Chain A
């Protein structure tokens, strides 16, 4: 570790080993952020290939590409990998890179723990993916791991459970680090109500993670003891109840969906003002709306289980509580639109992605409202309508916000502009193929096509063909994304200025592009 060397543009001694050891042992928030983002992108492709296998199977009725057992494994793994491997680490990567720079801190508050949060993940996902190669195959119960399905199955299910434990440790440690960094590392003058909205949404997301992930750990622990140690939590013969698993799981699961979307709201709230050349409209109401959504997320979980049988009072409570979420979410959408009102708008790639997020996420939000209505949900439950709904919020909301964020901050990180022409091409291919893939699934669901089934009735064929074609287009378009990133990182493009974007405002735009290895050695002054 003595092989320290000092870069020309680094103002401080940074004792970092070279080569692979730099990445294995780093305590630097930028290095760790980069590793998170590369990991996320890798998992995005791993999960994406699984999605393409699913769409290939569904290209026509009958069984042709994969057998039903593997199909079930693929739907399960696709979800687990995209949620825990692509979206969550992706947002943590952005948090690592940006939060210290946005609040004027030298690094994250607990740098060694930061490294540990990341390095748990490759091991956890090695274990999860390894489950596919065990006797009995990977988990095939859906990512929700409902008992009693998940009480069956072989060693692959145990590997899934233990990998979820590891991901949980990683998430909780990472979230603690983010909360502590935001609460304790702000530069003088950076009051809470002056923080960029991305920081605010991450503060609340981190709170949700600390509160929700341990509950998931408890749920899968009960699953493990039911499987191997003779407990009867989910077995009615011993007085247990499989529905108990669903309650505990969704008590985690619903905050989890806001963990997956709140940072996206933060990203959109950074991008839209920049390219509208106006400050964000209704900053305070954005903060309170985010907190409101976080609070409501803990009292709506059973809307995922309207059809399992619940007392009527329970169904009504969870229905109305769920519909309430539309209020703070509506505040946000209104504020983004009002920010653009009379703005001097330009449509660079990040802005295009942000606008698509606002528009497409709202579609997903509205189909969510439909699903919140109990009698309607009795029909929609477990159909492709649900699949369409959550891909509008998770792909068009979370993933596309991260793509927009990548274009927005990549020039700051690499010091080089990406190719605007290719970026826009990537945007339009992604947006068009996304809608080709997922819009028809609304119709399939309303017509009654169930999810997680490898075969379907002939009447569903046309929309499935369209959806599969869209999926392959969507997948191929992402290769262009990788190409654009590599091009920008290799540094052949135009140099980026410190501010990068004409309308950009915030501390991260005051330092040079790329920023020095340690950014704010002495805290900046915030007016």
Chain B
């Protein structure tokens, strides 16, 4: 029942953007309450999350139906492609901010702090560092000149395996794409399933590492600038992998249900692009956070 203007599909008025804004508001408001110890915070956040989940089912459901009904022609398809491309660029800039913080702290701020004798005499900088006061000591508010005791996660244990897992998953999702183009549905589903499994395997190993860091290595979010940059960079990456894996899982379900055609499958490609993006960020992380 929509106005088809020329050949470009224009959607009817939709309630979903407003629902999305409401959900976002509840989630953000609940988060503010949470960090300020308001007792109802978890319930407000839960409500926000449920509204957003409801919105996603509704909004994406409409989009999937429109797509399967053939309303998206090549012209619309280009809009989606460009939109996804620029969205990924914005994500790149988000990570760039955290990488910038890492480079600045490691190469400038910490050496400057070590050079000056005005603040903490005898602090000798270096990397990794928990800073002049270390984690536990910041909490206790006791200044000393030695860094807090902690160990880092070596690059050649689980991280190198995780690198191989993610790189392999980028390959498998590409193979799945080729199978889709050849209209080989069985191959498509198998290779996509392998990709999703690899994604969740990565997340499992990353969770295992985090538990290990907190329990055995003394490495936490509060371990000075090393802990802050380590967990924020890998944490936001892990969050993006989680989103990417869920997206791929949804795409897998759609493939099983027979969605997508060899020449019309932007939803699949967008998910694959996103997956390549989180993979690329991980390579940067592996080099600059773990190896160097």
Contact = CB atoms under 8 A, between A and B. Distances in A.
Q: Is this pair of chains taken from one and the same complex?
A: yes
A154 B113 CA distance: 29
B119 interface: yes
B228 A123 contact: no
Interface residues of B, number: 74
A165 interface: yes
B102 to A, nearest CB: 10
A123 B226 contact: no
A214 B93 contact: yes
Contact of A239 (B3, B94, B130): B130
A176 B17 contact: no
Given A25-B13, A106-B10, A518-B3, A166 B24 contact: yes
A183 interface: yes
B10 A107 contact: yes
Give the interface SS of chain A, mostly helix, strand, loop or mixed: helix
Interface string B35-75: 11000000000000000000000010000000000000001
B79 A158 contact: no
A355 interface: no
A492 interface: no
Contact of A24 (B6, B15, B232): B15
Interface residues of A, number: 85
Contacts of B32: 127, 155, 158-159, 162
A212 interface: yes
Nearest to B114: A239
Given A218-B94, A240-B105, A127 B10 contact: no
Majority secondary structure of chain B interface residues (helix, strand, loop or mixed) = helix
A177 B17 CA distance: 14
Given A112-B59, A165-B28, A241-B105, A218 B222 contact: no
B204 to A, nearest CB: 23
Given A112-B17, A115-B17, A244-B105, A230 B31 contact: no
Interface stretch (B83-91, B181-189, B276-284): B83-91
B131 A218 contact: no
Interface string B72-116: 000100110011001101110110111011001100111011000
B14 A248 contact: no
Contacts of B36: 154-155, 158
Interface in A187-236: 210-215, 217-219, 221-222, 224-225, 227-233, 235-236
Contacts of B21: 116, 119-120, 122-123
A424 interface: no
Nearest to B125: A239
B6 A521 contact: yes
Interface stretch (A13-21, A42-50, A67-75): A13-21
Interface string A329-356: 0000000000000000000000000000
19 contacts: A13-B3, A119-B21, A120-B21, A123-B24, A127-B32, A158-B36, A166-B28, A210-B89, A211-B89, A214-B96, A214-B97, A225-B228, A232-B138, A235-B138, A238-B131, A239-B224, A240-B228, A244-B109, A518-B3
Given A158-B35, A162-B31, 11 more contacts: A22-B13, A119-B20, A123-B25, A172-B87, A214-B91, A219-B97, A224-B35, A236-B132, A238-B138, A240-B131, A241-B105
